[in-house]
Structures are given as C-alpha cells and as structure tokens.
Chain A
Amino acid sequence: MIDEKEFIQQLLDPKTQNTAFQQLLSEYQRPLYVHIRNIVLNHDDADDVLQNTFVKVFQYLKNFKGESKLFSWMYRIATNEALTFLSQKAKLNGITSEALQNKTIDNLKADIYFDGDEIQIKLQKAIITLPEKQQLVFKMKYFQELKYEEIAAILGTSVGALKASYHHAVKKIEIYVTSN
C-alpha cells in the first residue's frame, strides 16, 4: 500500500476519492466486520454497524489529523459504533447490556450464520461476565489475534495494562468454563 499520508490525500481529493475509498473498503471491510461481529454477535447488526462505520469514516476523514494510524483510527470508530449500538439496543428493549448479550447468545444456536457448538456458546457466555474493557481485549487478542501494540493504539491504553487485562480475562473465563 502506498504511503498513508498520500492515500489520505487521495481520499480527500474529490477526483480520486471514489477509487481510494473503494480501495479502503476492500482492504478493511473483512477485519472490521470481524471486529464488529465479535462485539455485536449477530450478522444483521454487524452489517448495520459496519456500514455506519464506513459512512462515519468517510464523513470524519477531513478531521483525521494523522496522529494515529488510519488502521487504529478506523478500528476505534468501529468499536465506538458497535458499543453505542449495543447500549441503544439494550435501552430500546428496556434491559441491561449484559442481559441483551445473554439473549443474543441464546439466539445464536438458531442463527444460520453461526456454526459453533457447546464450547463456543460457553466461551461467549464466559466472555459476557467480564467488564467491557476485558471483553474487548480478550476478543481482539484471542479471536482476532491482533498484536498488543495494535490493540493499545486502538483502545488508547498501554501494552502493560493490556497484558494484565488479558491475563485477568483468561483466568476468569477458565474459572467460568470449569464451573459451568
């Protein structure tokens, strides 16, 4: 990929904008989809959030200062969109975020876009018992296999704090799975 600054210029220039944005989409749609899907859990919601994320990326691109990498900036937008989506959906249903996630996991068994079995369901159930930040760190590290440096740039925390967070998350998950 060409120099990131140059690429951002192409994204901002009306003449090259469409081609550049197409390129951005094809490069990031899969990893961002996986990231969002891991947070919202079902496909239809992930689809909505992913589209909104790209629209926001396009809208805010002119405010992108290049202080962080385009990659982590986009992941940050996706994370915020997904978390906002979850809390709004929970509010709309008059339940807590955790109760909503529990319900979504129960529905996964009947979801045609889910082919996990007992252990996947159990792991998801274990994850939702964690605090939000630990959930994110665990999913990004274990499922998406992002590097600690990348996660740190996305979530704006130190690598040390992330390692501790991940360690705590793994311990709690192991305890949950063992006892359930």
Chain B
Amino acid sequence: MKAFKLENEPKISTGFKTPDHYFDDLSAKVLQQINEDKKEVKVIPFYKRKKVLSILAAAVIIMALMIPIVNNYNATSKELDEDTLETYLAYQSNLNQYDLIQNLDAKDIQKLNKNVAIEDETLEDILSSTPNIEHLISE
C-alpha cells in the first residue's frame, strides 16, 4: 500500500456541519442564559442555615441558664442600701445614742450639721408646738 502523505492529499475537511440557522439565535440564547444567571437568587446552602440556627439555639440556652445566676448575684449583693440600714438601726439594733456618738468623727458631724440644717420657721413651729418649751430654754 502506498504510504499516506498528508501534504500530498487534497485538504481533508472535518465534515462537521451545523444545523441551519444555528448561529442566528445563538446570541439570544447566550444572553438569556446570562440574564437568568444574574437574576438567580443567591442560594444559602442548607448546612449554613443549620449552623446559624444551632449557634442561635446555643446562645439562647446559655442565656436561659444564666438567669438564675444573675438573679442570685443581685440577691446576694453585699452592698446594703440606705433604707435597709436605717430600718435595721432603728428596729433591730441594740446600739444606743452613746455608741453612735462614739463612732462619729469630725467629718461625720459636719455632714450631719448640713443634713439637719433647719430653717427658722420650722424651728419656730417646733418651739411653739412643744409644751415644755420653758424647760428646754432653761436647760
């Protein structure tokens, strides 16, 4: 058999054909596909949603578990408010005036003076309504 030489042969075509009018509507098809891709809503994979949900659930559970702790913290708070202290001193304490005075220093007394500043009118009222005023004056 004679050796086949590509360059000696007439050009061999591929023999491939395309359907009639194939290229006429190709660009329309491609553009449609591109526009569809643009419009497509971004899909969130299910596992991602699940992950977010589980993180949220964990956060809610932790917060729920923390409620008693927060409550306890407030209840056992060591800071006493003034009302509680006053009530205690007035009703429960066996401190007497003398003890109190003993524990006051100069600053406390100054503070007290400011707090107990009584206006003249109030003083007059007290004096006039007190029957044993003479006794007080003589003292």
Interface of B is mostly: loop
In the assembled complex, the CB of B4 is this many whole angstroms from the nearest CB of chain A, namely 4
Cβ-based interface call for B135 (8 A)? no
Cβ-based interface call for B98 (8 A)? no
- Bound Cα distance A104, B4 (Å): 24
Contact A174 B4 (CB under 8 A): yes
**Of all chain A residues, which has the CB nearest B2?**
A178
Complex contacts, A108 vs chain B, CB 8 Å: 15
Contact status of A50 and B6, CB under 8 A, knowing A22-B31, A33-B18, A116-B15? no
Complex contacts, A88 vs chain B, CB 8 Å: none
Complex contacts, A43 vs chain B, CB 8 Å: 16-19
Complex contacts, B19 vs chain A, CB 8 Å: 43, 113
- What sequence of 0s and 1s flags, for each residue 7-29 of chain B, a beta carbon within 8 Å of any chain A beta carbon? 00000111111110011001101
In the assembled complex, the CB of B89 is this many whole angstroms from the nearest CB of chain A, namely 79
When the two chains form the complex, which single residue of B4, B13, B31 contacts A116, counting CB atoms closer than 8 Å?
B13
Q: Give the bracket for the number of chain B residues in contact with chain A.
A: 20 to 34
Q: How many residues on A have C-beta within 8 angstroms of the other chain's C-beta atoms?
A: 36
* Contacts between chains A and B (CB distance < 8 A), count: 76
Which of A23-31, A64-72, A92-100, A155-163 sits within the interface? Answer: A23-31
Contact status of A25 and B27, CB under 8 A, knowing A43-B18, A113-B18, A178-B3? yes
Contact B18 A120 (CB under 8 A): no
Contact B37 A55 (CB under 8 A): yes
Complex contacts, A34 vs chain B, CB 8 Å: 16
Contact residues, A3-48 vs B (CB, 8 A) = 18, 21-22, 25-26, 29-30, 33-34, 37-38, 41, 43, 47
Contact A51 B16 (CB under 8 A): no
Cβ-based interface call for A75 (8 A)? no
Complex contacts, A78 vs chain B, CB 8 Å: none
- Bound Cα distance A174, B1 (Å): 12
Contact A51 B30 (CB under 8 A): yes
Contact A115 B17 (CB under 8 A): yes
- Bound Cα distance A173, B18 (Å): 26
- Bound Cα distance A123, B26 (Å): 30
Cβ-based interface call for B111 (8 A)? no
User: Which of B5, B15, B19, B22 has most chain A Cβ within 10 Å?
Assistant: B15
Q: Supply 9 A–B pairs (Cβ within 8 Å), ascending by A.
A: A37-B18, A43-B17, A43-B18, A58-B34, A115-B17, A116-B14, A123-B12, A174-B4, A178-B1
A-B contacts besides A174-B3, A174-B4, A174-B5, 15 pairs, CB < 8 Å: A22-B27, A25-B27, A25-B31, A33-B23, A41-B16, A43-B16, A47-B22, A55-B30, A58-B34, A116-B14, A123-B12, A143-B14, A173-B6, A178-B1, A178-B3
